[in-house]
A and B are shown apart, each in its own frame.
Chain A
């Protein structure tokens, strides 16, 4: 007789004790448990729901993004059934966006980096939207086998209304650099849930860069399959007039002696530029001896912008190594500008130096050289829109 275990591996891997918190509702595949939001819910209150343009509608679509991939030897990308994704232990949808992406995503794409692989080249997934007519639902699993080392670069560009649920399963002792660039066309809408499960003693650095798109809302959930795992979550974003950029992070310390380190930095410029950063950290009872630090800094370059920044730390054990957070939103530091200008540097040039300086340490931490160059160029071109264009004042 075969006993079918209905509990997905993901739910088993996590300690089962429920945590009473409004911050992270119970994940589920069941759409009925993810009703259409009113906008007042804690997880929706910052998001302009109308601008999600169909991503909350329960409607199938078989539209796709255009995929261009570069897979180093040994790495495979294959479609698997949704059931198989569950068996692999993917993350359950934590909101309606992800639940719909899973419900309508059809086949799941599995990117597989075999155990012990030492990739010298990055895996590249270039995903390009080809139009706004149809919603695109995406469902992915990235699996990095035990003790493997890999860099995975995911680039989103073009015109799309795209929602995806992605699970990143990092085996014991593996090291993964996951870099996501969201550089959509102006009209695009993008929602994504990225669940990262960090294996025992594994190390993950997930870097996320959001530059283009009308609305981008990503939710990154990290949990740990065993002790000793480390997750570094880095983010850089640049919101222009009218753009809504929302990054939601949740580090769920489900195992002892694990680490999470979150650093997100953003700049805002232009009327109606809106950024949201939610940094939730939960330290469960079992998670003794963990370390966590989260930081969000926003640089407001012009009037008419709004940066929301909400760090949250819930601690259920007293036995932790360290836990801290910092959040700051500010304008240009007048003293810094004065100092630079007192050396003959013009005001726009001084502003440029300060903004580059603001992002510099973060860009250096990305650890993918060609991307560093590109990000510096992105910062530069964003600056040209406002900071350098502004008339200097005396």
Chain B
């Protein structure tokens, strides 16, 4: 059988011969004609000096520089090129011992005989100046400059995050990184790693046997300049952040402040905190060890990762859901006789006027009122069973961003917890629970868990009358028109905007009600700014309860919302409310007029007192 396309075999043959011709030709020129490789390649004369880019700078929202870079030098070694050298001169310059030298030499040889590795990292510029002149005496050693992070203030460690050397795992999974590279490990440094890191460059040099650079290899044809990382403007207000950290000194807890009209995070305090520059440099691992073994967990990012029951602050949510489900109205009144009683269940309340309507109930933080509201929501006759009532309530709660990650730009955000109906099924059986069983949800206790960031976001939602912008920590990326699209879309809750003013009035009265009217947060009052707020206390089975306060100001056209948490701070008004109030004053007026207020907070030491007890 003759195939009509058989002649095409010649095309394949020709193709093959073409390849052979090109290959042999290229190899002939490379190996026989070009002698340059044969003379130079007896040893590895090429030295690749990596040009590490400076990471992008980080500014605060007002343009104040927060994070920048400074040059340091790594002393590198290529063990195969090392010859006998004068160890005492070497040790003098570097201020290390003979034993150090022996050990480091051995380590470097173990790592690789032919590839260079760091001998001594982060040599200061002064040492470098001396070393540079004597380097010719030490064949096999060379210096590799690299920028290192510097912080203009000792603030915002948790928000900015820190950088560190990449580990094996990263190197295996991302070809961008090589041994010894730095990478963002937490905070903005991690979240915006790809923006900040820039691009490494390289210079290829010819080096002679005396360790002297003879010049660029192939006239710099293979060189590549480093590309500096992109600068970032953070949403933080450095003054406010610094002030918040000052107020939180000697207290455990957090402050999150957000601009409600944008979702921009103005302050992000986690206390106790750490000095971000302490996690750099040669002492890094020791500092890290001390910080991680501290029982107060200074490395723990409380705004994102601490979850607490919301306590009474959650009453505003139940009030809103009650209004939306039309089971109560603004004027609906309930009696409170020292608490809420039903069968064997008893939720106690403090003493106040009775009966109260909704805004007054928020002003007084009446437990009985919200137990009634909550039961009406769950036992609403429009639902066939309490399960549907509960699920409807849960749907409203989730729409405020609870029980899920907010998808901020921070890494490591926690979800918190809003139990599903099946959660109660597991404990009480499918028909074994009712609105009474889960009554503690009415006053924000029980199984609910919410992060301080979610709490601040809830307050922003109220300040905005029903929607929020996903909170974020970065405002601008240099050279990019906009940050991520997701920070510009409004997340609406399931509550109609008309109901918010009722709740806001209650929050106003909680702070600004006349003396003796039962306002729970009068301590947060500022004379010429209408602050709206709500206190809360998170039950703590392990000790003193946690003090919570959420607030926004001014009442019309709010500029700032806050959530303040003081662990073991007792009732919300004690410490959390005055701190929130001072933060608001600082942000809106840029100065503090109530010195006694400030002193009261600054002098409070909840950490060391507790330890003495």
Q: Is B truly associated with A?
A: no
